[in-house]
Amino acid sequence: MKPNLKLATLLIGSIFSFSVLATELPEIKQPEELQSGEFAEGVMTGLSAEDIKIFLPWAQNARKILDDALAESLRFSLFEKVNFLESEMKRVVQGSGNKNYQLLMRSSLNRGLLLSKILKEESDINDPGILQNHLSILVGSIELAKFFFESDNAFQQKAEDNKVGSVPYALFAKKMGHYYLPISLSIFDTSAQYRVLYKTLEMINWDMAQDENAMGAELAEPIVDIFRTLQRLPINPTTDIGLLGHIQTMNFLVQKLNKGQWLNPVVPSAVQQEPERKGHFVLVQRNEDKSEIWKDEKSGLIWGDKLPKSISQHKAGTACKKLAKIDGKSWRLPTKEEFEEAEVHGIRSALPNMSYEFWSSSLDASYSRYAWSLNGRSGTVNRWDRNGLSSVRCVIP
């Protein structure tokens, strides 16, 4: 956008009296992270016929990947859900081809990944609410991307038919505000909240300034308000001193935007899904073969489902080690004591397929030919010959 564009008349006042104010739009610069590097965004708004042949299959495939990712993520724990969605978003962005083209679908994902990265750098993942903030940003970005799938297609179709069209930057900015501003204001960590909120407002302002109606009164006022507010604030504060005051300043701005219907809090649908719980156990994952993985929140142990075959205790440990790792952690046989603790926590009423005899890794201290096992029907532990056949259920500590 060119600097110092003259505004048309900006009407101020009540319904009975008003004055006319002539002013100029400031030069709004593209956020540095969006200019180059990992989060670079394009500036060309029209694709050639050859590019469109590549774009349309990508967009169709991207939407399917995102739909599948949201559905599949419901089976994961909160930590795994964040990592999985981030990975799928990166896969879509990296497959989008020439980054010199401006696609709102890709920009939606790109910006979510940027805000998520800022949140990771500025906060401790173990702090209250931070993982949920990450999830909200990622899910909001995916829903934004799906929303703008149609507008991207429509714009490129007009370009292909040699018709005049415009990119709906103002709508994009408003939708971003709906999702990201409430999330930004809910972040518990002061430093993280400041930087995510600042970057969100900076990106919103850049989008509004690119809109073809940027000089109109509806957009000009928030553009100037955001610009003036951010001009008074440090981009990257070196200390936390004064951050609360700076956040309050931005909060006042957000309240003003809200009066103009810019902030309509949206809770992404996938964020509302609470994990399934049974007593002290929470569902981590439900697989296509209907097997389930549960976590004992009191002990921290992750419990797998019953393995398909009954085997000897000698082979049981190896069978566990062959299972796919979770977050880099390997499976193993549970000990006798872990079975006893899980019984106290209600494992038999929480986990499926419990009506079997399960091997433990604990041997009989007086006779190593025997090992301890859990009777899933009664909840008692018993000694069995290690060469006999019993079921196996593995754990991750």
Residue 5 inside a domain? The answer is no
Judgement on whether residues 334 and 385 belong to the same structural domain of the protein: yes
**Residue 18: per-residue pLDDT:** 29
Judgement on whether residues 194 and 220 belong to the same structural domain of the protein: yes
Is the pLDDT score of 266 beyond 60? no
Is the pLDDT score of 20 beyond 60? no
Judgement on whether residues 152 and 243 belong to the same structural domain of the protein: yes
- Report the distance separating Cα 224 and Cα 220, nearest Å: 6
Judgement on whether residues 180 and 302 belong to the same structural domain of the protein: no
Report the number of distinct structural domains present in the chain: 2
* Domain termination residue (choose one: 272, 291, 307): 272
Q: Tell the burial category of 346 from Cβ atoms under 10 Å away from its Cβ (0-12, 13-18, 19+).
A: middle
* DSSP 8-state code for residue 274: P
**Residue 83: per-residue pLDDT:** 92
Judgement on whether residues 75 and 155 belong to the same structural domain of the protein: yes
**Residue 152: per-residue pLDDT:** 57
Q: Where residue 355 sits, what CATH number does that domain have?
A: 3.10.100
**Residue 65: per-residue pLDDT:** 86
**Residue 290: per-residue pLDDT:** 78
Q: Where are the alpha helices (DSSP H) in the chain?
A: 49-73, 78-94, 104-122, 130-160, 169-185, 190-210, 217-231, 243-259, 313-321, 336-344, 347-350
- Report the distance separating Cα 232 and Cα 241, nearest Å: 15
Helix, strand, coil distribution of the chain in percent, nearest 5: 50, 15, 35
- Is the pLDDT higher at 104 or at 207? 207
Counting residues of the chain whose pLDDT is more than 70, the rounded percentage is 78
- Is the pLDDT higher at 122 or at 128? 122
Is the pLDDT score of 22 beyond 50? no
Residue 189 inside a domain? The answer is yes
**Residue 43: per-residue pLDDT:** 57
Residues shown for the chain: 397
Residue 392 inside a domain? The answer is yes
* Domain termination residue (choose one: 220, 242, 272): 272
Counting residues of the chain whose pLDDT is more than 90, the rounded percentage is 36
pLDDT range class, residue 258, cuts 50, 70, 90: confident
pLDDT range class, residue 48, cuts 50, 70, 90: low
122, 198, 238 from 233: Cα distances, Å: 18, 9, 12
Judgement on whether residues 209 and 345 belong to the same structural domain of the protein: no
Is the pLDDT score of 286 beyond 80? no
Judgement on whether residues 134 and 183 belong to the same structural domain of the protein: yes
Residue 254 inside a domain? The answer is yes
Is the pLDDT score of 129 beyond 90? no
**Residues 151-174, mean pLDDT to the nearest whole number:** 63
Is the pLDDT score of 273 beyond 60? no
Query: Considering only 68-77, 262-271, 314-323, 350-359, which range has the smallest mean pLDDT?
Result: 262-271
CA atoms within 13 A on the CB side of 302: 18
- Supply the mean pLDDT for the chain: 80
Is the pLDDT score of 206 beyond 70? yes
Judgement on whether residues 314 and 294 belong to the same structural domain of the protein: yes
**Residue 288: per-residue pLDDT:** 60
- The dihedral region occupied by 302, where left means phi > 0, alpha psi between -120 and 50, and beta the remainder, is beta
**Residues 82-110, mean pLDDT to the nearest whole number:** 79
* Domain termination residue (choose one: 230, 246, 272): 272
**Residues 18-44, mean pLDDT to the nearest whole number:** 72
**Residue 260: per-residue pLDDT:** 59
Residue 2 inside a domain? The answer is no
Judgement on whether residues 210 and 297 belong to the same structural domain of the protein: no
Contact in structure between 116 and 90 (CB atoms under 8 Å): no
**Residue 194: per-residue pLDDT:** 92
Residue 1 inside a domain? The answer is no
Residue 249 inside a domain? The answer is yes
Judgement on whether residues 173 and 296 belong to the same structural domain of the protein: no
Residue 4 inside a domain? The answer is no
Query: Considering only 3-7, 65-69, 360-364, 386-390, which range has the smallest mean pLDDT?
Result: 3-7
Is the pLDDT score of 63 beyond 70? yes
**Residues 18-45, mean pLDDT to the nearest whole number:** 71
Is the pLDDT score of 146 beyond 90? no
Is the pLDDT score of 5 beyond 70? no
**Residues 187-201, mean pLDDT to the nearest whole number:** 90
pLDDT range class, residue 196, cuts 50, 70, 90: very high
Q: Which domain holds residue 303?
A: 277-396
Is the pLDDT score of 259 beyond 60? yes
Whose tokens are 């991307």? That residue is 145
**Residue 79: per-residue pLDDT:** 85
**Residues 159-185, mean pLDDT to the nearest whole number:** 75
pLDDT in tens, 211-252: 888 777 678 888 888 999 999 998 877 776 778 888 888 988
Judgement on whether residues 225 and 284 belong to the same structural domain of the protein: no
Judgement on whether residues 225 and 316 belong to the same structural domain of the protein: no
